[in-house]
A and B are shown apart, each in its own frame.
Chain A
Amino acid sequence: MDLETLIPVYFFQNLRIMDRKAILEELKKVLAPYTVSKAMLDSINEQTDLIRDLRINSASLVDIIIDAEEKYNIEFDAESIEKITSVGTCIDIIVEKMNQRV
């Protein structure tokens, strides 16, 4: 692979990583009103379990989905909602739905 091919690949991989980090930071603000574990919220990463680690109840999860839908102008369908277990799976779906919108 020559340098001209490598540069765009590196650029877009890096951009994708930055997008996920940016979404993670924004998700912290969305999650804040619904978690009782504020200390855990400061140290969340993509592996953080929404229910077990952040102690978000399932009804609040619906509110979080609605807030995320408004923030990113996307819609979570029933299949997507079933997949949401961690911060990472939530970011996966936001990225997927945003890409579908483009």
Chain B
Amino acid sequence: MISAGNDIVALNSHSARAGSKRFYSKILCDPELVLYTRQMRLVLPLYQYVWLIWSVKESVYKFQQQNNPLLRFAPKKMMVQNMLLREDRAGLSENSGNETMEWENDRCCHCTIISHDQVFYTRSFICSDYIHTVANSHPCFDNISWSVRQIAQTDYHTQSGEVRSFLLEQLRDIFPGTPLEIGKHAAGYPLLLNNGSAMPVPLSFTHDEQFIAYSFNLPPGNR
């Protein structure tokens, strides 16, 4: 399945609400709670773990929705099977498209997740300010590019405009001279257009508060 999905969660004072049982009971399946109490509670506070799981599920939902526009986001129908949290920065250096700002103590988390009987893989970048997750249907992320940027204004129109400009900056380097535009499929996901025709480059946008991010799937033959 060729698609794209990513999600960012700004970690601010409001995000601590995810530590309440009423909130996380809508997101986490029972085995994911067990995973936290047995393993992850030593490395992440509960609210960060909840947003990490949220971000993983939302990015996979966006990935799947491009192939199944009728799909609805149902976090408790998706289950994280494996979670590997790395304290080093190796995950950040593996992708040349990643221009994520340098943060202290950030971590890369690799997950395997089942959603609607299909297996997906995610990579999440966790720092004190945000969690950003990128999804793929294959454990190798060589074809996936992504990036995060911090912006000054946080209103919806600014976020939406800035994330599109940010992606087009990157894609114009890859497709020089091509009149690229961003369109929207009737189902709501973004499309890369060349003279009004959709290009076979799946895209995904996300923004939350002062953070904007994208991912796209570009096999080497298309570069």
A residues contacting B by CB (< 8 A) are: 36, 51-52, 55, 57-59, 62-63, 65-66, 69, 76, 78, 81-83, 85
Contact = CB atoms under 8 A, between A and B. Distances in A.
Contact of A81 (B58, B74, B208): B74
Contact of A78 (B9, B23, B76, B208): B76
B27 interface: yes
Interface in B51-67: 54, 58
8 contacts: A36-B156, A55-B156, A59-B9, A62-B23, A62-B27, A69-B22, A81-B76, A85-B72
Contacts of A59: 9, 54
B155 interface: yes
Contact of B22 (A57, A66, A78, A82): A66
Given A52-B188, A58-B58, A66-B22, A78 B77 contact: yes
Nearest to B206: A57
A62 B50 CA distance: 13
Given A58-B58, A58-B73, A81-B74, A65 B26 contact: yes
Nearest to B72: A82
A66 B23 contact: yes
A23 to B, nearest CB: 21
Nearest to B76: A78
Contact of B74 (A52, A69, A82): A82
A85 B58 CA distance: 16
A78 B77 CA distance: 8
B161 to A, nearest CB: 14
Interface in B15-72: 17, 22-23, 26-27, 54, 58, 72
